[in-house]
Amino acid sequence: MKRYGNLYEQIYSMDNLRKAHQNARKGKGWYEEVKAVDADVEGYLKRLQEMLINHTYQTSPYEKFIKHDSGKDREIFKLPYFPDRICQWAILQVIEPYLMRHMTKNTYSAIPKRGIHAALHDVQDAMWKDVPNCQYCLKLDVRHYYPSINHDILKAKFRRVFKDGELLWLLDEIIDSICTANIEDIRDLWFFDEDVDEETGIPIGNYLSQYCGNFYLSDFDHWIKEEKRVKHYFRYMDDIVIFGSSKEELHALKREIDVYFMQELRLTVKGNWQVFPSYVRGVDFVGYRTFLNYTLLRKSSCTNFKKKMVAIRKKTAGGQMMNYSEWCSVNSYKGWLKHCDSYRLRKKYIAPIQDDADRYYRDVVKTKKYKRKAA
């Protein structure tokens, strides 16, 4: 594998730092900490540049909070806008192209121009065009993925791609800035205490963590495609779907995956993994359920969609105007529905409030846009 160097100077160049600030502030211009940087952009960025040149940069303390998401409580870790979020943007603007070269085309999370709907369309393409080889599906994900990522393994993976010592110093500093693993939880996976590595776990919430999480499994992607010769394999972060022509081949592959995860990555497969008939149950992946020649919205997403649309319809029927959050929700669900078979859902739940959504856009959103342009 080719290794890349001479990248650190690009990271701390003022042009790259200015671009990092512009990217990091998108959608956050009203934050007080962002306003403070906006008031003296060159001064703040010069300070960050000096930290990077002199190797005095240290990751700030994290703010931790719990987010309830899809029935789960997740620990989210937040860093200050300056210097940390700007710094992480500056790093990724330089190293992202090199990381992308190591990713296979079958992984979709945190990769520009891929994402959820690219993953969905590739799954549809496999299931609808190669029925004999997609009769059964192995669906699995990693147990406590982000808290289980081992620091030493992750840093070793970066060293296989980069040979720039200063860049590796900066990546190490951020990776080692916090350990998010529950040590008692990790100890349950190993036979002996000496096997437990406390330097484990990266924070959900870091911009860099999205890429670290994707990159950590990239060697596994290559192993699946190049050594195991799996034809239909799809991964969205740690959510994995594999198709096969028989249950037996998928169960055998699952046993090999268990060994690879434990020996190479110090990971384990979550206990709810399944092998099932693809076309009978449908494949639940990236928010949709795909069957032969048609796709439905995931059941939980469909239930939430109905509740929100009914609540908005009751509100607007009473003469009130929907608010900005509700207008965004309507448009977000319209975007989700256009990628699946949803004619009846759109007719029953979207159509009755479409006029109210159009009115809100015309009277509020569009007017604000014009005012900002005039200002």
- Cis upstream peptide for 83 (omega within 30°): yes
Q: What CATH number was assigned to the domain covering residues 103-149+202-294?
A: 3.30.70.270
Residue 142 DSSP one-character state: B
Please list the residues that pair with 235 across neighbouring strands: 107, 240
- Choose among 25, 174, 160: nearest CA to 88: 174
Secondary structure E strands in the chain: 63-69, 72-78, 136-141, 233-236, 239-244, 274-277, 283-285, 288-290, 295-297
pLDDT at 374: 45
pLDDT at 277: 98
As a whole number of angstroms, the distance between CA 253 and CA 232 comes to 13
pLDDT at 194: 55
Q: By the 8 A CB rule, do 207 and 115 touch?
A: no
* Token pair in block for residue 59: 């990751």
pTM, two decimals, is 0.91
pLDDT at 199: 84
* Token pair in block for residue 324: 């900005």
What are the respective helix, strand and coil percentages of the chain, to the nearest 5? 60, 15, 25
Burial of 153-183, coded b for 16+ CB within 10 Å and e otherwise, reads: bbbebbeebbebebbbebbeebbebbbbbee
Q: By the 8 A CB rule, do 44 and 37 touch?
A: yes
What residue ranges do the domains of the chain occupy?
A: 103-149+202-294, 298-374
Percent of the chain with pLDDT over 70: 93
pLDDT at 183: 67
Percent of the chain with pLDDT over 90: 85
Query: Could you read off the pLDDT tens digit of each residue along the chain, which spans 375 residues?
Result: 689 999 999 999 999 999 999 999 998 988 999 999 999 999 999 999 999 999 999 999 999 998 877 667 788 999 999 999 999 999 999 999 999 999 999 999 988 889 999 999 999 999 999 999 999 999 999 999 999 999 999 999 999 999 999 999 999 999 999 999 876 666 666 655 556 677 899 999 999 999 999 999 999 999 999 999 999 999 999 999 999 999 999 999 999 999 999 999 999 999 999 999 999 999 999 999 999 999 999 999 999 999 999 999 999 999 999 999 999 999 999 999 999 999 999 999 999 999 999 999 998 888 765 555 444
